[in-house]
């Protein structure tokens, strides 16, 4: 087995018994990235030099016996995380040359364990998109079929893990941005409960929805990486001070007495037949594993996408006001007046989708429309959240599709934003409710494109969700398939 | 003409709260530092940075709310006020909109006719300040605007009154009262020039008897009490003239120009921003428990009004003395400390309002830094009370104490100023003076009794001021009249 095919857990064992050094592992990945990135375009920045320095430090720690769970493990991070001394572009022209002076909390936590950051991953600009086609640095391609999208917005994160360019990645999920690309690339993507992982230093898209999440090859790695980044952070007022359980210890495979709900509103028209079958099969697998399958209802599901595109865009219109050309980022130097500097810098710096969402959000917050749009959307959000709380009185976990279809072709939906928005129909309600969910491989379409299933867990009960995911993974082989790439 | 119109004034005061650090980050709030030296990712609005509320700022807001009779909201919300300006790094100001921390308060002001009037306080909400723009002052930089974000993110409390004031004098009276309270509470340093206590005034006029309010203008750039009065008076007259000449007041923001004493239009209603207020998703609701409120209430100082009545009713001061001593919290504390030691409130008041205040003024010192502490001052008063020194010598001793910080006793000892109360010693001085001035003795005996002052003066002079004046007087009379 080559180094870059090993999981985090497998690498951990080989680093600990000195079969491999962190420098060897890092070099293997940097070579793999160099060989594959021209086709995939999953990285915006590759840390050829700093990664080696970090690997050397990890080797010293290993030699000194100071080993943390992530010491020496090669991890790539979405280019939305602030990383001190590295470019943090958010895949936008407006931050094309922006070098952050500080580390996001999630980055600081993996650095504290001496993980090795191998690069910054491509994404939809400011995390706005479902296909990774909205990047100022070009689209990312799906390793399973280069003519298809990898999903988005954490498209680079999912593609890089599927193509073994890094052992694990960090992404962010505002409306499905970790789970949907994970499903399209046949990897494991987890969105923790809102407040579980600090947002400090993560470039904000929609603050009440954004969460950091791991993208990994299997469930154990997901637990390992989540463990490193989860937990209260005083620098993020919305992070929640609640104990973080030992996630790996929860991976017992035991599903006895587990109740899994299938929300009927998720199996509707527009759901691809291959996807429907894969989820139905997954339900059967769970039944065979001893879980009880119960049909449930989340009655306000139909309103989730509309609600999301009001709340997320409203917050984004305000969050992105700071890119004004005054202190950092792109500035139009030819502008004569202040107002021109603002308008020309932002016109040149933001891509089409970002501008669309800023305008939508500005409109929703405008005097005279605020009550009809923003307030109404907040009320709907409360109802959607209540749907989940009600359902979790009856079941432990929900099983649903991640996306209505497998990955679509590059360019297929770029002219139809509404169709693109609807591809997040199954993931968006989770962000609105603030609970946790994850995507894991559960099959392939007739055309050979990956299909993912979504497990939705109770708020702050990632442990039960991971246990449920792990049991399925143990019973199936989907996660072992790799793209012929 | 003016008599036909009623003036209506509402005031918005921005008080900078005296926290050591900013409201949403840990940067220092110190004034006058190198531009942009007191900044961090949060107050520079770098991508990804998040605000965390300074609990001290909340405590100061609660203090102010309680002292102005407000209800403290058990749950309040921070909101974003969205607009673009280079001194506003995030492109929005974090403020409070729908649910402010304090509401429904009031202050009583004293009117000239001796009556009291209650001025309503609609609300007080917390918010962050913006940075400031500096314009280049050399030929090369004259077209540049430089941004200094040291002030960005410092905590403000905006205190909004009801439109309850009916004259510039009432407005000033309210402002001074509010100013005194925030300074007393220690929540604001009250410096108008440095902008730590800023005032905007909403002015309208209406014919007497009309219920409906007239169209208002908002006045800005009022950075002294004098300018505020001037600006309001100008604006009232401008609006009345406008109406009388058939015009209409338009809703607008007007800037006061202290050079001309006039107000001029800054922006009209049509140019008013749509701030698109929205709850800030980066901050959780501010929850204030009843326990916290009570804890803060327990630390509230006695406010000026309560102090004044105590000084009059319990310590027997005149209304005037009480007013002067209660006006400044540290002065009042100094007075209270002195009374506690000396028991004689009247003489403490006299000395503090006389010599102490005079020396503070002469030496440009604050009461907190006065070299003569209440302990030293009352040590001096004790020596007057027990006749060790006379009042006149005491003045000299006080001067020395101010210079070297020694106790009265040390100075009296060292300088040999102890009052002579030995009858024999005084008697011999009296005899000398009588012997040396036979002419005056004759005149005195001839009925010119006023001359007693002359003799006392001579004896005091001979004793270098140390003789007890009462004894001198008594002995002189005895000797002169032979009984």
Q: Do A238 and B284 touch (CB under 8 A)?
A: yes
Q: In a 10 Å sphere around its CB, with 0-12 CB exposed, 13-18 middle and 19+ buried, how is residue A479 labelled?
A: buried
pLDDT digits (tens, 9 = 90+) for A193-227: 999 999 999 999 999 999 999 999 999 999 999 99
Closest residue in B to A209 (Cα) is B281
Contacts of B409-415 with CB under 8 Å at 24 or more apart are B409/B379, B409/B383, B412/B383, B412/B388
Mean local confidence (pLDDT), B406-411: 88
Q: How far is it, in rounded angstroms, from Cα A351 to Cα B45?
A: 21
pLDDT digits (tens, 9 = 90+) for B336-395: 999 999 888 999 999 999 999 999 999 998 898 899 999 999 999 988 888 788 888 889
One-character DSSP codes across B96-132: --SS-SEEEEEEEEE-TTS-EEEEEEEEEEEEEPP-E
Rg (CA), chain B: 31
Instruction: Please enumerate residues of A whose Cβ is less than 8 A from a Cβ of B.
Output: 81-82, 88, 90, 95, 98, 100-102, 104, 199-204, 206-208, 234-238, 314-315, 317-318, 320-322, 324, 326-328, 338, 342, 362, 365-367, 370, 374
CA distances (Å), origin A100, targets A82, B45, B143? 6, 12, 29
User: Which residues of A are catalytically annotated?
Assistant: 78, 153, 177
Q: Which parts of B214-312 are beta strand (E)?
A: 217-222, 252-257, 262-268, 278-279, 286-287
Q: Do B86 and A322 touch (CB under 8 A)?
A: no
Say whether pLDDT at B140 is over 80. Answer: no
CA–CA min distance B138, chain A (Å): 20
Sort out which chain A residues have CB atoms less than 8 A from B21's CB and list them: none
CA–CA min distance A95, chain B (Å): 9
Mean local confidence (pLDDT), B243-272: 87
Chosen for mutation from B26, B44, B48 (greatest number of chain A CBs closer than 10 Å) is B48
Sort out which chain B residues have CB atoms less than 8 A from A81's CB and list them: 48
How large a percentage of chain B has pLDDT more than 90?
64
Q: How far is it, in rounded angstroms, from Cα A90 to Cα A341?
A: 21
Tokens of A32: 């793999």
Q: How far is it, in rounded angstroms, from Cα A169 to Cα A158?
A: 8
**What pLDDT does residue A415 have?**
86
Mean local confidence (pLDDT), A331-349: 95
The DSSP bridge pattern shows strands A397-401 and B5-16 to be: unpaired
Q: Are B380 and B409 in contact, with CB atoms under 8 Å apart?
A: no
CA–CA min distance A54, chain B (Å): 24
Mean local confidence (pLDDT), A220-241: 98
User: Would you place residue B299 in the very low, low, confident or very high pLDDT band (cuts 50, 70, 90)?
Assistant: very high
Q: Do B48 and A100 touch (CB under 8 A)?
A: yes
- CB-nearest to A321 from B44, B91, B282 is B91
Q: Which of A127, A129, A120 is nearest to A170 (CA)?
A: A120
Q: How far is it, in rounded angstroms, from Cα A280 to Cα A415?
A: 32
**What pLDDT does residue B22 have?**
98
User: Would you place residue A1 in the very low, low, confident or very high pLDDT band (cuts 50, 70, 90)?
Assistant: low
- CB-nearest to A101 from B41, B80, B92 is B41
Spell out the SS3 assignment of A82-98.
Answer: CCCCCECCCCCHHHCCC
- For all residues of chain A together, what is the average pLDDT? 97
Say whether pLDDT at B2 is over 60. Answer: no
Q: Are B128 and B93 in contact, with CB atoms under 8 Å apart?
A: yes
- CB-nearest to B47 from A88, A324, A342 is A88
CA distances (Å), origin A176, targets A172, A228, A444, B54, B234? 9, 22, 20, 33, 60
Q: In a 10 Å sphere around its CB, with 0-12 CB exposed, 13-18 middle and 19+ buried, how is residue A214 labelled?
A: buried
Tokens 């943090």 sit on residue: A88
pLDDT digits (tens, 9 = 90+) for B190-204: 999 888 999 999 999
The dihedral of CA B343, B345, B350, B353: what is its sign? Answer: positive
**How many CB atoms within 10 Å of residue A49?**
9
- For all residues of chain B together, what is the average pLDDT? 91
Sort out which chain A residues have CB atoms less than 8 A from B284's CB and list them: 237-238
Tokens 């009856």 sit on residue: A394
Give the ranges where B117-251 is alpha helix by DSSP (H): 168-185, 225-244
Q: Which parts of A217-313 are beta strand (E)?
A: 259-263, 292-296
**What pLDDT does residue B449 have?**
84
pLDDT digits (tens, 9 = 90+) for A436-483: 999 999 999 999 999 999 999 999 999 999 999 999 999 999 999 999
3-state secondary structure of A218: coil
Q: Are A47 and A98 in contact, with CB atoms under 8 Å apart?
A: no
Chosen for mutation from B47, B50, B58, B277 (greatest number of chain A CBs closer than 10 Å) is B47
Closest residue in A to B49 (Cα) is A201
The domain made up of A3-257+467-480 is a member of CATH 3.90.1300.10? yes
Say whether pLDDT at A240 is over 70. Answer: yes
Sort out which chain A residues have CB atoms less than 8 A from B41's CB and list them: 101-102
Q: Do A327 and B44 touch (CB under 8 A)?
A: yes
Say whether pLDDT at B307 is over 70. Answer: yes
Q: What is the dihedral of CA A150, A151, A157, A161, to 10 degrees?
A: -40
Q: Are A31 and A25 in contact, with CB atoms under 8 Å apart?
A: no
A82 versus B411: which is more confidently predicted?
Answer: A82
Q: How far is it, in rounded angstroms, from Cα B478 to Cα B473?
A: 9
**What pLDDT does residue A359 have?**
97
**What pLDDT does residue B420 have?**
72
Q: How far is it, in rounded angstroms, from Cα A308 to Cα A206?
A: 10
Q: Which of B331, B376, B367 is nearest to B349 (CA)?
A: B331
Say whether pLDDT at B138 is over 90. Answer: no
Say whether pLDDT at B269 is over 90. Answer: no
Q: How far is it, in rounded angstroms, from Cα A393 to Cα A376?
A: 26
Q: Which of A151, A212, A134, A144 is nearest to A424 (CA)?
A: A151
**Domain boundaries, given as residue ranges, for chain B:** 2-292, 302-415, 423-481
Q: Do A82 and B44 touch (CB under 8 A)?
A: no
Q: How far is it, in rounded angstroms, from Cα A406 to Cα A131?
A: 12
CB pairs under 8 A between A and B: 99
Q: How far is it, in rounded angstroms, from Cα B196 to Cα A450?
A: 62
Tokens of B92: 């929005």
Q: In a 10 Å sphere around its CB, with 0-12 CB exposed, 13-18 middle and 19+ buried, how is residue A376 labelled?
A: middle
3-state secondary structure of A409: strand
Please work out, in degrees rounded to the nearest 5, the angle formed at the alpha carbon of residue B450 by the alpha carbons of B446 and B455.
90
pLDDT digits (tens, 9 = 90+) for A7-56: 999 999 999 999 999 999 999 999 999 999 999 999 999 999 999 999 99
**What pLDDT does residue A238 have?**
98
Q: How far is it, in rounded angstroms, from Cα A284 to Cα A303?
A: 29
Tokens of B212: 């409906």
**What pLDDT does residue A125 have?**
98
Instruction: Please enumerate residues of B whose Cβ is less than 8 A from a Cβ of A.
Output: 41, 44-53, 80, 82, 84, 86, 89-92, 147, 274, 276-278, 281-284
Q: How far is it, in rounded angstroms, from Cα A233 to Cα A107?
A: 13
**What pLDDT does residue B463 have?**
83
Q: Do A326 and B89 touch (CB under 8 A)?
A: yes
Q: How far is it, in rounded angstroms, from Cα B266 to Cα A183?
A: 56
Mean local confidence (pLDDT), A318-323: 98
State ipTM. 0.96
pLDDT digits (tens, 9 = 90+) for A368-387: 999 999 999 999 999 999 99
Span between the terminal Cα atoms of chain A, in Å? 16
Sort out which chain B residues have CB atoms less than 8 A from A370's CB and list them: 276-278
| Listed range (B118-127, B250-259, B380-389) with the worst mean pLDDT | B380-389
Q: Do B45 and A322 touch (CB under 8 A)?
A: yes
Q: What is the DSSP letter of B372?
A: S
Q: Which of B153, B152, B171 is nearest to B161 (CA)?
A: B171
The domain made up of B423-481 is a member of CATH 3.40.605.10? no
User: Would you place residue B446 in the very low, low, confident or very high pLDDT band (cuts 50, 70, 90)?
Assistant: confident
User: Would you place residue B480 in the very low, low, confident or very high pLDDT band (cuts 50, 70, 90)?
Assistant: confident
Q: Do A318 and B82 touch (CB under 8 A)?
A: yes
User: Would you place residue B483 in the very low, low, confident or very high pLDDT band (cuts 50, 70, 90)?
Assistant: low
Q: How far is it, in rounded angstroms, from Cα B14 to Cα B104?
A: 17
Q: Are A243 and A459 in contact, with CB atoms under 8 Å apart?
A: no
pLDDT digits (tens, 9 = 90+) for A162-195: 999 999 999 999 999 999 999 999 999 999 999 9
3-state secondary structure of A354: helix
Q: How far is it, in rounded angstroms, from Cα A375 to Cα A381?
A: 10
Contacts of B414 (CB under 8 A, 6+ apart): B406
Mean local confidence (pLDDT), A83-98: 97
Q: Which of B121, B172, B254 is nearest to B7 (CA)?
A: B172
Sort out which chain B residues have CB atoms less than 8 A from A102's CB and list them: 41, 46, 49
3-state secondary structure of B314: coil
Where does chain A hold its CATH 3.90.1300.10 domain(s)? 3-257+467-480
Contacts of A203 (CB under 8 A, 6+ apart): A80, A81, A82, A88, A90, A95, A126, A127, B47, B48
Sort out which chain A residues have CB atoms less than 8 A from B278's CB and list them: 314-315, 318, 365, 370, 374
Tokens of B17: 């709260």
Give the ranges where A64-199 is alpha helix by DSSP (H): 105-112, 155-162, 179-185
Q: Do A326 and B90 touch (CB under 8 A)?
A: no
């Amino acid at each position: 087995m080559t180094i870059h095919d090993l999981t985090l857990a497998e690498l951990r064992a080989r680093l600990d018994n000195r079969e491999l050094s962190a420098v060897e592992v890092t070099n293997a990945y940097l070579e793999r990235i160099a060989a594959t990135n021209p086709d995939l375009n999953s990285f915006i920045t590759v840390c050829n030099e700093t990664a080696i320095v970090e690997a050397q430090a990890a080797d010293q720690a290993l030699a000194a016996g100071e080993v943390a769970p992530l010491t020496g493990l090669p991890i790539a991070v979405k280019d939305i995380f602030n990383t001190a001394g590295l470019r943090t572009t958010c895949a936008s022209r407006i931050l094309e040359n922006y070098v952050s002076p500080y580390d996001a909390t999630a980055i600081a936590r993996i650095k504290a364990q001496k993980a090795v950051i191998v690069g910054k991953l491509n994404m939809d600009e400011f995390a706005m998109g479902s296909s990774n086609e909205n990047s100022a640095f070009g689209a990312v391609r799906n390793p399973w079929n280069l003519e298809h999208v990898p999903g988005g917005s954490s498209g680079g994160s999912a593609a890089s893990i599927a193509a073994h360019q890094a052992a694990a990645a960090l992404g962010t999920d505002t409306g499905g941005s970790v789970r949907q690309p994970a499903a399209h690339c046949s990897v494991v993507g987890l969105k923790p409960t809102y407040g579980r992982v600090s947002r400090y230093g993560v470039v904000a898209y929609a603050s009440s929805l954004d969460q950091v999440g791991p993208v990994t090859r299997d469930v154990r790695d997901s637990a390992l990486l989540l463990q490193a980044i989860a937990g209260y952070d005083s620098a993020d007022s919305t992070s929640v001070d609640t104990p973080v359980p030992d996630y790996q210890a929860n991976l017992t495979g035991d599903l006895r007495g587990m109740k899994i709900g299938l929300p009927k509103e998720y199996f509707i028209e527009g759901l691809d037949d291959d996807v429907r079958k894969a989820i139905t099969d997954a339900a059967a697998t769970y039944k065979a594993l001893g879980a009880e399958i119960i049909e449930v209802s989340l009655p306000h599901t139909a309103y989730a996408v509309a609600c999301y595109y009001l709340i997320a865009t409203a917050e984004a219109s305000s969050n992105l006001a700071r890119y004004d050309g005054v202190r950092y980022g792109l500035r139009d130097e030819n502008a004569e007046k202040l107002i021109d500097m603002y308008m020309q810098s932002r016109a040149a710096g933001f891509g089409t989708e970002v501008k669309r969402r800023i305008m939508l959000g500005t409109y929703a917050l405008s005097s005279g429309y605020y009550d009809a749009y923003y307030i109404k959307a907040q009320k709907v959000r409360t109802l959607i959240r209540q749907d989940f709380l009600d359902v979790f009185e009856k079941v432990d976990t929900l099983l649903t599709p991640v996306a209505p279809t497998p990955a679509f072709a590059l360019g297929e939906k770029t002219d139809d934003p509404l169709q693109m928005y609807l591809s997040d129909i199954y993931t968006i309600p989770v962000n609105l409710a603030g609970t946790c969910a994850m995507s894991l491989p559960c099959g392939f379409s007739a055309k050979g494109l990956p299909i993912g299933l979504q497990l939705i867990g109770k708020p702050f009960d990632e442990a039960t969700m991971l246990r449920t995911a792990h049991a399925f993974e143990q019973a199936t082989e989907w996660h072992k398939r790799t793209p012929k790439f | 003409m003016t008599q036909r119109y009623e003036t209506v004034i509402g005031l918005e005061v921005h008080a900078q709260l005296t926290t050591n650090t900013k409201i949403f980050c840990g940067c220092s709030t110190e004034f006058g530092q190198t531009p942009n030296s007191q900044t961090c990712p949060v107050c520079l609005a770098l991508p990804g940075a998040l605000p965390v509320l300074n609990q001290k700022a909340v405590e100061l807001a609660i203090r102010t709310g309680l002292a102005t009779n407000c209800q403290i909201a058990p749950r309040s919300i921070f909101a974003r006020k969205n607009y673009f300006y280079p001194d506003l790094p995030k492109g929005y100001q974090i403020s409070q909109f729908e649910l402010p921390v304090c509401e429904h308060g009031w202050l009583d002001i004293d009117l000239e006719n001796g009556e009291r009037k209650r001025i309503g306080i609609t609300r007080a909400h917390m918010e962050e300040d913006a940075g400031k723009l500096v314009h280049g002052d050399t030929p090369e930089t004259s077209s540049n605007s430089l941004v200094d974000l040291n002030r960005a993110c410092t905590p403000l409390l905006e205190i909004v009154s009801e439109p309850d004031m009916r004259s510039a004098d009432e407005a000033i009276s309210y402002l001074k009262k509010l100013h005194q309270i925030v300074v007393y509470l220690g929540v604001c340093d009250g410096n108008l020039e440095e902008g730590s206590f800023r005032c905007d005034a909403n002015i309208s006029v209406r014919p007497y008897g009309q219920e409906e309010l007239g169209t208002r203008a908002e006045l800005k750039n009022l950075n002294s009490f004098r300018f505020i009065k001037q600006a309001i008076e100008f604006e009232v007259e401008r609006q009345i003239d406008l109406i009388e000449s058939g015009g209409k007041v338009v809703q607008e923001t007007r800037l006061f120009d202290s050079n001309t004493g006039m107000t001029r239009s800054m922006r009209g209603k049509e140019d008013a921003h749509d701030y698109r207020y929205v709850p800030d998703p980066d901050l959780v609701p501010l929850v204030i428990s009843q326990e916290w409120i009570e804890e803060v209430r327990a630390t509230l100082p006695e406010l000026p009004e309560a102090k004044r009545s105590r000084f009059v009713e319990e310590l027997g001061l005149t209304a005037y003395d009480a007013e002067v001593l209660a006006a400044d919290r540290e002065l009042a504390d100094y007075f209270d400390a002195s009374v506690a030691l000396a028991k004689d409130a009247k003489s403490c008041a006299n000395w503090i309002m006389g010599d102490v205040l005079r020396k503070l003024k002469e030496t440009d010192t604050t009461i907190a830094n006065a070299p003569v502490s209440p302990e030293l001052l009352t040590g001096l008063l004790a020596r007057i009370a027990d006749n060790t020194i006379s009042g006149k010598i005491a003045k000299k001793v006080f001067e020395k104490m101010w210079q070297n910080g020694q106790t009265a006793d040390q100075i009296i000892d060292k300088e040999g100023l102890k009052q002579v109360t030995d009858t024999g010693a005084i008697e011999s001085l009296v005899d000398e003076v009588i012997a040396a001035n036979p002419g005056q003795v004759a005149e005195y005996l001839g009925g010119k009794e006023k001359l007693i002052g002359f003799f006392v003066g001579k004896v005091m002079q001979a004793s270098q001021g140390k003789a007890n004046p009462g004894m001198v007087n008594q002995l002189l009379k005895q000797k002169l009249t032979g009984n």
